[in-house]
Homo-oligomer: A and B are copies of this chain.
Amino acid sequence: MINNPKQSIGIGLIGLGVIAGQVVNVLIDKADVLAEQVGCPLVLRKVKVLPQDLSRPQAQAMDSQLFTTDADEFFATPGIDIVVEAIGGESPAVEYLSRALSDGKHVVTSNKEVIAKHGVELLTLAQQHGVGLRYEAAVGGGIPLISPFQRDLLANNISGIYAIINGTTNFILTRMARDGVDFASALNRAQELGYAEPNPRDDVEGIDATYKLAILASLAFHRQVRPEDIYREGISRLSSRDFQYARELGFAIKLLAIAKQSDESIEVRVHPVFIPEDSLLAKVDGVYNAILVEGDLVGKVLFFGEGAGALPTSSAVIADVVAAAQDVILGIGSKIRWGAQPGKGIKPMSEIKTRYYLRLNVADRPGVLAQIAKVLGDRLISISSVIQKLTDTAAQTAEIVIMTHPAQEKAMKQALEEVAQLTVVEEISNFIRVEE
């Protein structure tokens, strides 16, 4: 159907880690199907590797002529139409992508950090050189997300995104909820199973989620949202008691990435939240991801699946490669535009308004609740429910859990400072926002 002047489409691959290795597998195993989709074969012409990659069993099973450790040699390889980057991290990936685009090559990447931090510059570069920059695998692994935003939902004004987009933290939270274990023990199990890195900071502190949210929010709100624009809290402060109280109150605890319209600005934040236990997001367990999108036309749509892992990620990378190959054959750049235009402002965290869950350790004597309620009331924060439990008879302290009605973050923070100064309050044990 497509009048194809090309005999083949050349692929250059940067990296030979787990994801890149799986991409190679698919290019080989599904060569026939992919050739049929594209109209000619996809041929792997060169793989840019690090010296240590060459000892991998997969590398040893491949033609050694395919490999180079030299970036200049890689970029000088003739016949590369599409560069696939799968090394991750900011540098040198961003330099490689810039160079590929400047050379007029279509680019496919699964690199969330580079797209979150440099997406606008790279997309501008792609447009200048008449090629496409695709990054479907950068958010949500194999779950179709970028393409639906760019294509299927484009007629919508997006009012909100509520996403579980980090499988590691969701696995940990699921274990804490189900098994009543504490954070350290759940993290340990995630590490044993290979779901968490030896240094888990990027996941458990929500950094990975801010990269992904920056990408989604930029697409949804047609403005550049940078990772540093996003308020961020991780999950390490959560204790098994929080899960116990959440359940009693009819909630689940999830690490949500939230981007939503709010008055004339947008809220962008990643932090643990209480969500109603009968909501769909509350049912998303283990390493699964789910992204709920609200639009003026489409209403609520939700995308669910495995947000990471070599196989799902390769599904998205290969889809991007095929789309890029079709564009190479048609001789067109990408049709996609991404808003670098100035958009709505980002609401300061102090101005957001939610309900709050508070867990306090207080002296076990009459009148304590009244003192706390007064501090909250003075800031116009009203209480919707209270659970009081005796926790330590020896220390004569009790645990109080308070759910508030919607209140402004600034007022809440000020109230908490005052509450902390009450002599009857031993400790503010936790403070979690509620999304309903």
- Tell me if A155 and B304 are in contact (CB < 8 A): no
> CA separation between A33 and B156, bound complex, in Å?
10
Minimal Cβ-Cβ distance residue in B for A341: B36
Q: Which B residues touch A323, using CB under 8 A? A: 151
Contact bitstring A1-22, B, C-beta under 8 A = 1, else 0 = 1100000000000000000000
Does any Cβ of B come within 8 Å of A425's Cβ?
A: no
Does any Cβ of B come within 8 Å of A28's Cβ?
A: no
- Tell me if B312 and A297 are in contact (CB < 8 A): yes
> CA separation between A148 and B145, bound complex, in Å?
9
Of the listed residues A36, A156, A284, the one surrounded by the most CB atoms of chain B closer than 10 A to its CB is: A156
Range, interface on chain A: 35 or more
Does any Cβ of B come within 8 Å of A30's Cβ?
A: yes
Q: Which B residues touch A30, using CB under 8 A? A: 155
> CA separation between A297 and B309, bound complex, in Å?
10
> CA separation between A350 and B299, bound complex, in Å?
40
> CA separation between A304 and B312, bound complex, in Å?
19
Q: Which B residues touch A1, using CB under 8 A? A: 127, 333, 337
> CA separation between A329 and B305, bound complex, in Å?
35
Does any Cβ of B come within 8 Å of A174's Cβ?
A: no
Shortest distance from the beta carbon of A359 to any chain B beta carbon, whole Å: 28
Shortest distance from the beta carbon of A310 to any chain B beta carbon, whole Å: 9
- Tell me if A314 and B302 are in contact (CB < 8 A): no
Interface of chain A residues 284 through 328 with chain B (CB within 8 A): 284, 295-306, 309, 311-312, 314-316, 318-319, 322-323, 326
Q: Which B residues touch A337, using CB under 8 A? A: 1, 36-37
- Tell me if B155 and A144 are in contact (CB < 8 A): no
Minimal Cβ-Cβ distance residue in B for A34: B155
Quick one: which of B144, B153, B300 contacts A148, CB cutoff 8 A?
B144
- Tell me if B319 and A154 are in contact (CB < 8 A): yes
Interface of chain A, helix or strand or loop or mixed? mixed
Known contacts A151-B323, A303-B303; decide if A332 and B330 are in contact (CB<8 Å).
yes
Quick one: which of B144, B280, B299, B314 contacts A144, CB cutoff 8 A?
B144
- Tell me if A152 and B319 are in contact (CB < 8 A): yes
Interface of chain A residues 82 through 134 with chain B (CB within 8 A): 127
> CA separation between A258 and B300, bound complex, in Å?
24
Quick one: which of B26, B298, B300, B332 contacts A297, CB cutoff 8 A?
B26
Does any Cβ of B come within 8 Å of A283's Cβ?
A: yes
Minimal Cβ-Cβ distance residue in B for A222: B33
Quick one: which of B34, B299, B314 contacts A305, CB cutoff 8 A?
B299
Q: Which B residues touch A37, using CB under 8 A? A: 154, 337
> CA separation between A143 and B37, bound complex, in Å?
24
Interface of chain A residues 22 through 79 with chain B (CB within 8 A): 26, 30, 33-34, 36-37
- Tell me if A298 and B306 are in contact (CB < 8 A): yes
Q: Which B residues touch A147, using CB under 8 A? A: 147-148, 151-152
- Tell me if A300 and B295 are in contact (CB < 8 A): no
- Tell me if B301 and A143 are in contact (CB < 8 A): yes
Does any Cβ of B come within 8 Å of A399's Cβ?
A: no
Closest 7 CB pairs of A and B: A301-B305, A144-B152, A142-B298, A297-B315, A155-B318, A302-B304, A298-B315
Quick one: which of B156, B283, B326 contacts A315, CB cutoff 8 A?
B156
Q: Which B residues touch A306, using CB under 8 A? A: 298-301
Does any Cβ of B come within 8 Å of A413's Cβ?
A: no
18 more A-B contacts (CB under 8 A) besides A144-B144, A303-B304, A304-B304? A1-B127, A26-B297, A142-B299, A147-B148, A148-B148, A151-B319, A152-B315, A154-B318, A155-B318, A280-B284, A283-B283, A297-B314, A297-B315, A297-B318, A299-B306, A300-B304, A301-B306, A302-B302
